[in-house]
A and B are shown apart, each in its own frame.
Chain A
Amino acid sequence: MPSLRRSNGTNGTHRANGSVAGGDAIIRAEGVVKTYDTGTTKVRALRGVDFAVGRGEMVAVMGPSGCGKTTLLNCLSGLDDVDSGTIYLEGQDLARMGDRKRTDYRAKRMGFVFQVYNLLPVLSAIENVELPLLVSGIRPKEARVKATAALETVGLGEWAKHRPAELSGGQRQRVTIARSLVNNPALVWGDEPTGALDSSTATEIMDLLRELNRSQGLTLILVTHDPGVGAQCDRIVRMRDGEVVGEERGTPAAAQTLGGTLSTQVVGVH
């Protein structure tokens, strides 16, 4: 994808407490607490999470259902507010950014890949992809060129005019990835990016993400249940009951060797 400019990130050296050595963290969270109040009960989704990701790093956040993975993603990406704690995005304190600035930041510096694709069903693939560009103020003609290039990068150049309902699950997720990358983001969040896909398609998508991480230094933070996905990442952060309970290095090379069978095996283990 020649049109996408990327900094030459190196996988950061990280400490066991989740911080990134050398201060090259694209995101850093300290003591993040988030509680959901349903009126009758209070659920403490995050209980003082410390977390950091280096620029160009590919990190998986794993843990059982309800451990707070998605909440962490939402809070760190500015989609949700935190009760306490601090979050720095590229050195900027998220709490000091108003909704407008955060939204702007998301539009220009972040990309999202969701489990259920979350494409707008009324727009074609190319229109879905160019939305982040339009909202960033890029002229429609230029946006169309970039969106086309992004779709070609994910191998869907010929499917540009098709609506999501006319695409397979894997194709839809590729469109989502193209959309997440089209704006040259500093950081891409993935919430169960392979959760709705069959194993071979999941592998395909993970290979694509890994390739983008490697070739363009894209920072990726993936929330997942799937150890196969985790294994392809540089680092796996484990969560339980709203806390980070440990982290380990991923084995991307090994995972790559295992190829398409990995996810299936992992599902069996899980």
Chain B
Amino acid sequence: MNELFTIQMSTILTVLLVMLGLCLLTVAWVAIRRPVIFKLGVRNIPRRPPQTVLIVVGLMLSTLIMAAALGVGDTFDYSLSKSVYDVLGPVDEMVVSAGGGDVDPSSARNSTIPAGTLALVDESVRDDPNVDGVLPYLLEQVPAQNTAKGQGEPGVWLAGADPERLRQVGGLETVDGEAIDLGALATDEVVVAEKTADALDAAVGDTLTLSYNNAPFDLRVGAIAGDSILAGQLDPTQLGMVIPLDRLRERTGQTDTLSFVAISNAGDDRGGVGATDAVIDKLEPALEGQGLGVAAVKQDNLDEATLVATAFTGFFLVLGLFSIAAGILLIVLIFTMLAAERRPEMGMARAVGARRSQLFQQFVAEGTGYALPAGILGALLGVGATYGIAAVMRGLFGDFFPIEARVTPRSMVVAFCLGVVITFLAVTLSSWRISRLNVVAAVRDIPDVTNPTRKKRTLLGGALAVVAGAGLILLGRDTEQLAWFTIGVSLVPFGLALVLRFFGVPSRPVFTTVGLALLVFWLMPDDLFTRIFGEYNGNFEMFFVSGIFMVLAATIVIVNNLDSLLGALTAPTRSLIAGAVALAAGYALRLVEAGSVTADVLRLAGQIVLGLGVVLLVLGLLGLVVNLFPRVAVPAVRTAISYPGAARGRTGMTIAMFSLIVFSLVMIATMSTNFSALFLGDEANAGWDVRATASDANPIDDFEGALAAQGVDTGRFAAVGEVTTPDASSRVRLAGGEFRPYPVNGMDPSFVEHAEIVFGQRAEGYADDAAIMEALRTRPDVAIIDASALEGNGDPDGLVLEGLRLDDETFAPIVVEVEDRDGAPVPLTIIGVIDQAVTSLFGFYAPRATIDPIFPQVAATEFWVAGDDPDQADQIAKDIEAALLPQGVAAVSIQDQLEEGQALFGGFLSLIQGFMGLGLVVGVAAVGVIAFRSVVERRQQIGVLRALGYQRSLVSLSFLIETGFIVLLGIASGTFLGVALARILLTSDDFGGIEEFLVPWPLISGILLATVVVSLLMAWVPSQQAARIAPAEALRYE
């Protein structure tokens, strides 16, 4: 992988190495010039081993996530590239049909080129030192059966290759590397690719029955070759076998055509690709005007592999940002706590002459002492995580291409440097803040006094935030970038809050208002946002930006009202009354009639107040439960809820950590569930149960007749429709525009008659879906298209119905033009856009009577079957495939196929959730650090509690309840925000506005329960330590 976020990896590596060097030089300078300060710093590291272990574990997580993300990229890069080299072998370029000017190597499967192309290519590269071989290939997809073993495959590529030319580029080899001489093959023999042999359970000597043009013939397996294009396997998902070209020509009668001409560049399989540009430059002039094109097939596939690898790395990194953000919070938290612990010591050091910079240097030295081993550990564990992710990916995508874990040393170094530099910067900032202490207050260990300088800094910070926010708002408006605009809008209230604080306005009302206002802003439904602020463009980065700001806002509200929230537990009646009032107020606000912006904002505020009311009611009820156990629960809860409120900084950071990670997990889980429901809904299969595909090699004229002839009971069929796929390289354009590749399909009258298609957008004049179907039955000039052609919903470089978006309901009929075989445009009018819930239909659909004349040659015909009993779909598919296997018909249950696809998607999302769940380790580590620290800090207080009559179990319980409260608050906040944002997105018009929003409560509950349990287990060890403290000893402790 050479690029990340469009920056060269080598540049990233250089910059990071320089930054790391600067960090280490800084520490080295302290070690050499201030050895005492350095020692004072690093000697703290081994002082408390459990705490040090937790700190290192917490710090290493950022590195682990980055190493894993980069490792995933390396794995994809390596695996895809290897797959390209394995499949293409010596083939670097392919000369194929270039209908309409597009050069697509996959067209070799459906389109042919004149046999004279070979001579043309030979002539062009005759004396070219860059070329060491030219290979003509003819392909036909045929069914194959190994009758003896009872195995069959409906579609296997039977390739014809020139044995002599094949030999010149290295020839075929068995999987063990032994040469196979294709020319020496007996006339009734075939060389089978390894994957095909596995699929057919075929061994050398087995007889395979193939069929062409409905005429069966037998071939014996003469040898089994490695999987490659030379053996007819066009890509890792396909099956192939090869015989000499002459024999295939003889059998198919295609004597004057080829499928493609492969070119092998000089050099080995990997080195030859360097000459691709030179070879193409030489060939293109000769092919011009012949309807031929040369595809840089190896180079393009390698580029695509890199692109996919980079995309995956970016994807994993962006998702990992939540964990990285939580990791940074943990670093700040750890150092803030270390500073609190050593405050008197630091005050004393300052009192006897230590400079502020020396305290700063001391912390930086200590921080580096943690960061370096954490970086190494993180990078190593990142490699382990990569192997784990690769194993899961192999299970999911192994059928498409082999996945082999690979991490380059460069990725490890980048992750290590990035992890150490991030930690160093976080430590530096924390240390700078820590070192600014009031000496007297620190020595006496009393709260710091606020001095005028600090107040001025607050004012300055506030003013800067307002200015920066305003600047970002303007930038966002200029560039129409949602991220800049929303960050700007979020910064301004923070700045104003700081300014108000400078003027002495109390903290709680100011920050609570800011937090609630930001929540209203970020939880605003899409249409309301657009009405107030206008249209902006946002991409995947908004997931992270919105998560950060919503969590920040919610945490601010929680932390500034902790006493009220937790006080509800000890004063349940008050809480219940307040909750009831909030519910009533929220409900009243929801009654405001929607329409105006003010009304909609009030309704949104009502929703938030309703949520608050529910929280208060739940806490009140919990308080009632607590009061049922006065001897144990009441005193334990009393102490447990008091400490978090007294240390709002650390409580807030811990809540934010859990909230961030839980938010991302819940959001992904909720989106995944709703997409699954959407794609597997009743509309997904358009009213059909089974799809059977027949290739043009063995056309079937009478589908039901052929089945009946094989004894299949077609009485179970309620309806059968046909859809033809004329040409894989069909192209469509908006009238007057540029042709774009788009799959074109022809529907026979029975398909139109019986299909149950739901339309997301209908052309004006068509009142309902039935009207569209009626037009398709009666008019030859109308068509329908799938939702991926809508603007902003598919490939922007493909066919885009400009101006028509998912949130539209009607449109003026759109005239498009389909390119016929001669390149002439045939106009058709789109009258409906298939709803994206109909996931079984993809492409452009028009009546077959219209499409057949445009594309006389049919590549494949799909037979769509609706059964009397949909539950029998799988059996019907099996029956069809068994009966028509000799004709190469492949049949699937549409529902099963959709479910398999969804299971793949779901599996990938589970992997993503697991990856993001790594961030929970940060939260759990934070819980551990805080709990261990609390035991030390409260040692004397624990002695007092024991003296007052707290049993050991009560001390322990109090610690666990305290941890539980913090974790639950974080989890509740993250869950609420995750579900709320998912709901806003999924019900927004941009996503087509799903009607029934689903929340995967069982999955969410599982995640949350596991989080709570692991956190409590982490807190259990220190809680036991606390319980074991001898009261007399603790009371002496200072």
Find out whether the CB atom of A120 lies under 8 angstroms from the CB atom of B949. no
Q: Nearest chain B CB to A105's CB is how many angstroms away?
A: 8
A137:B630 contact, CB within 8 angstroms: yes
* Interface 9-residue window, one of B39-47, B435-443, B1030-1038: B1030-1038
Contact of A122 among B447, B642, B947, B1033 (CB under 8 A): B642
Judge whether B499 is part of the interface by a CB distance below 8 angstroms. Answer: no
Q: Which of A96-104, A208-216, A217-225 lies on the face that meets chain B?
A: A96-104
Given A135-B631, A136-B631, verify A74-B1032 contact (CB < 8 Å).
yes
With known contacts A103-B950, A140-B627, A134–B635 Cβ distance under 8 A:
yes
Q: Would you call B642 and A127 a contact (CB within 8 A)?
A: yes
A120–B645 touching, CB < 8 Å:
no
Contact with B along A166-193 (1 / 0, CB 8 A): 0000000000000100000000000100
A162 to chain B, nearest CB (A): 14
In angstroms, Cα B646 to Cα A165, docked, is 12
Interface stretch, picked from A6-14, A15-23, A106-114, A259-267, is: A106-114
- Is A99 a contact partner of B950 (Cβ separation < 8 A)? no
- Please tell me if the beta carbons of A132 and B949 are within 8 angstroms of each other in the complex: yes
Indicate whether A118 reaches chain B with its CB closer than 8 angstroms.
yes
Contact A140 B630 (CB under 8 A): yes
- Are A118's CB and B642's CB within 8 A? no
Interface 1/0 per residue, A128-162 and B, CB below 8 Å: 00011011111110000000000000000000000
> When the two chains form their complex, are residues B638 and A127 in contact, meaning their CB atoms are under 8 A apart?
yes
Inter-chain CA distance A121–B946, complex, in Å, is 16
In the complex the two chains form, is A118's CB within 8 Å of B949's CB? no
Interface size on B (CB < 8 Å)? 33
Main secondary structure of the interface of A (DSSP, over half): helix
Inter-chain contact B947/A112, CB cutoff 8 Å: yes
- Give the distance in Å from the alpha carbon of A134 to the alpha carbon of B634 in the complex: 7
Q: Does B941 contact A (CB under 8 A)?
A: yes
| Contact yes or no, B946 A120, CB < 8 A | no
The answer to whether B1032 and A108 touch across the interface, beta carbons within 8 angstroms, is: no
B148, CB-defined interface residue at 8 Å: no
Does B740 count as interface, using CB distance less than 8 angstroms? Answer: no
**B634 and A103 within 8 A (CB):** no
Rounded to whole angstroms, the CA-CA distance of A74 and B1033 in the bound complex is 9
Return A235 CB to nearest CB of chain B, in Å: 24
B733 at the interface (CB under 8 A from A): no
Asked if residues B948 and A79 are in contact (CB atoms below 8 Å), the reply is: no
B406 within 8 A of A: no
Q: In whole angstroms, what is the CA distance A264 to B672 when docked?
A: 77
**A104 smallest CB distance to B (angstroms):** 7
| Interface presence of A123 (CB below 8 A) | yes
Is the C-beta of B800 less than 8 angstroms from some C-beta in chain A?
no
Against A, the Cβ 8 Å flags (1 = close, 0 = not) of B423-462 are 0000000000000000000000011000000000000000
A198 CB-CB contact with B under 8 Å: no
CA distance A70 to B943 in the complex (A): 14
Q: Which residue of B lies closest to A74 (CB)?
A: B1032
**Hey, what's the 0/1 contact readout for B938-982 against A, CB within 8 Å counting as 1?**
001101111111111010000000000000000000000000000
CA A21 to CA B645, docked complex, whole Å = 52
State the Cβ distance, B650 to closest chain A Cβ, in Å. Answer: 13
Contacts of B951 in A (CB 8 A): 99-100, 103-104
Residues from chain A with Cβ under 8 Å of B639 in the complex = 120, 122-123, 131
B643 near A: Cβ within 8 Å? yes
Is B949 touching A79 in the complex (CB atoms < 8 A)?
A: no
B631 touches A137 (CB 8 A): yes
B645 contacts which chain A residues (CB < 8 A)? 122
Whole-angstrom CA separation of A19 from B235 in the bound complex: 99
Q: Which residue of A lies closest to B955 (CB)?
A: A103
Cβ of A93 < 8 Å from any Cβ of B? no
B948 contact from A80, A106, A165, Cβ within 8 A? A106
Q: Which B residues touch A104, using CB under 8 A?
A: 949, 951
> Using Cβ atoms and an 8 Å threshold, which residues of chain B touch A108?
949
A80 touches B1030 (CB 8 A): yes
Cα of A132 to Cα of B950 in the assembled complex, Å? 8
Give chain A nearest CB distance to B939 CB in angstroms.
12
Query: Do A134 and B630 contact each other (CB < 8 Å), given the known contacts A106-B948, A107-B949, A122-B643?
Result: yes
Chain A proximity of B783: nearest CB distance (Å): 72
By a CB distance below 8 angstroms, the chain A residues around B745 are: none
Is B948 a contact partner of A112 (Cβ separation < 8 A)? Answer: yes
Per a CB cutoff under 8 Å, which of A77, A127, A135 touches B954?
A135
| Cβ contact within 8 Å between A106 and B954 | no
Q: Please state if B949 and A106 are interface contacts (CB–CB under 8 Å).
A: yes
* Among A99, A132, A191, contact of B952 (Cβ-Cβ < 8 Å): A99
Q: Is the CB of B638 within 8 A of A118?
A: no
A80 — nearest CB in chain B belongs to which residue? B1032
Chain B residues, Cβ within 8 Å of A191:
1035
Task: With CB as the reference atom, state the residue of chain B lying closest to A142.
Answer: B630
Indicate if the CB atoms of A79 and B1031 lie closer than 8 Å. Answer: yes
Q: Give 1 or 0 for each of B570-588: 1 = CB within 8 Å of chain A CB.
A: 1000000000000000000
Bound Cα distance from A237 to B814, whole angstroms = 106
A135 to B950, CA, bound (A): 6
Q: Contact check, B630 vs A79: say whether CB atoms are below 8 A apart.
A: no
Contact pick for B949, options A70, A103, A122, A140, CB 8 Å: A103
A79 near B1035 (CB under 8 angstroms)? yes
Given A118-B940, A123-B642, A127-B638, A179:B948 Cβ within 8 A:
yes
**A118 pairs with B643, CB closer than 8 A:** no
Interface positions, chain B 168-204, Cβ under 8 Å from A, are none
Check A120–B941 contact: CB distance below 8 A: yes
Residues in chain B near residue A114, CB distance under 8 A: 944, 1035
Q: Give per-residue flags for B548-578: 1 if the beta carbon is below 8 A from chain A beta carbons, else 0.
A: 0000000000000000000000100000000
List of A residues within 8 angstroms of B1036 by Cβ:
70
Residue of A108, A114, A135, A140 with highest tally of chain B CB at under 10 A? A135
A interface residue numbers (CB < 8 A to B):
70-71, 74-75, 77, 79-80, 99-100, 103-104, 106-108, 112, 114, 118-123, 127, 131-132, 134-140, 165, 179, 191
Residues of B within 8 A of A (CB): 446-447, 570, 627, 630-631, 634-635, 638-639, 642-643, 645-646, 940-941, 943-952, 954, 1030-1033, 1035-1036
* Closest 10 pairs (CB-CB, A-B): A107-B949, A80-B1032, A137-B631, A74-B1032, A122-B642, A122-B646, A134-B635, A79-B1032, A118-B944, A135-B949
Given contacts A80-B1033, A120-B639, A121-B646, 10 further A-B contacts (CB under 8 A): A75-B1032, A79-B946, A79-B1030, A106-B947, A114-B1035, A120-B945, A122-B646, A132-B948, A134-B638, A136-B631
Q: Would you mind naming 8 contact pairs between A and B with Cβ atoms under 8 Å apart?
A: A120-B944, A120-B945, A121-B941, A123-B638, A131-B948, A134-B638, A139-B630, A165-B447
